[in-house]
């Protein structure tokens, strides 16, 4: 698997984002997907990073990114890096891609001086919850765009510096 840095608005990122939005609609039945405001510049280094994994044929099969957050009214804290758009297409699941992308994103956020990785997922994404729990994330106080939703689950993991 080839994992590459890409802009959030790269055509392959847009393609995979469209796919994950359809999955959100299917799982949550809300008809709109994730409407968290995102701007491609949020993922530009050194304030973020966006990764795409490609299979042997060069097709995009997985994504993930992080963006800098600071203390604000949505419940973020100074030093936060927020994980966004972790997604693996159904045909590529079970190969450890999400785990590999997550490790790369954590390392990059740590190198950028971030002290905690935070993420929001939903109660209809048990695979995501299992991944985050198995990699050291713990439930935390809700934050972000969906913090008032019952279906929202928020997790955090310290990013200790050596």
- The pLDDT value recorded for residue 66 is 98
How high is the mean pLDDT in each 10-residue block of the chain (162 residues)?
96 96 90 84 96 97 97 95 97 96 98 97 95 98 91 96 78
Provide the pLDDT for residue 147.
92
- The pLDDT, as a whole number, for residue 8 is 97
**Residue 37's pLDDT is what?**
85
**Res 124: pLDDT:** 94
Read off the tokens for 161: 């510096």
State how far the Cα of 30 lies from the Cα of 124, in Å rounded to an integer.
12
CATH numbers and ranges of domains, the chain:
2-158 (3.40.630.30)
79, 72, 70: which is closest to 110 by C-alpha? Answer: 79
Q: Give pLDDT, residue 33.
A: 79
Helix (H, G, I), strand (E, B) or coil at 47: coil
Beta bridge partners of 62: 53, 88
pLDDT at residue number 32 = 76
């Amino acid at each position: 698997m080839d994992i590459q840095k890409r802009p959030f608005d790269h055509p392959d990122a847009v393609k995979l984002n469209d796919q994950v939005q359809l999955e959100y609609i299917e799982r949550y039945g809300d008809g709109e997907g994730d409407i968290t405001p995102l701007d491609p510049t949020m993922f530009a280094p050194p304030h973020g990073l966006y990764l795409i994994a490609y299979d042997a044929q060069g097709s995009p099969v997985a994504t993930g990114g992080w963006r800098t957050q600071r203390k604000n009214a949505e419940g973020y804290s100074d030093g936060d890096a927020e994980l966004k758009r972790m997604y693996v297409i159904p045909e590529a699941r079970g190969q450890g891609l999400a785990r590999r992308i997550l490790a790369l994103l954590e390392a990059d956020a740590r190198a950028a001086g971030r002290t905690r990785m935070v993420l929001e997922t939903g109660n209809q994404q048990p695979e995501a919850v299992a991944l985050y729990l198995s990699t050291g994330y713990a439930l935390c106080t809700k934050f972000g765009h969906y913090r008032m939703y019952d279906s929202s689950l928020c997790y955090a993991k310290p990013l200790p510096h050596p």
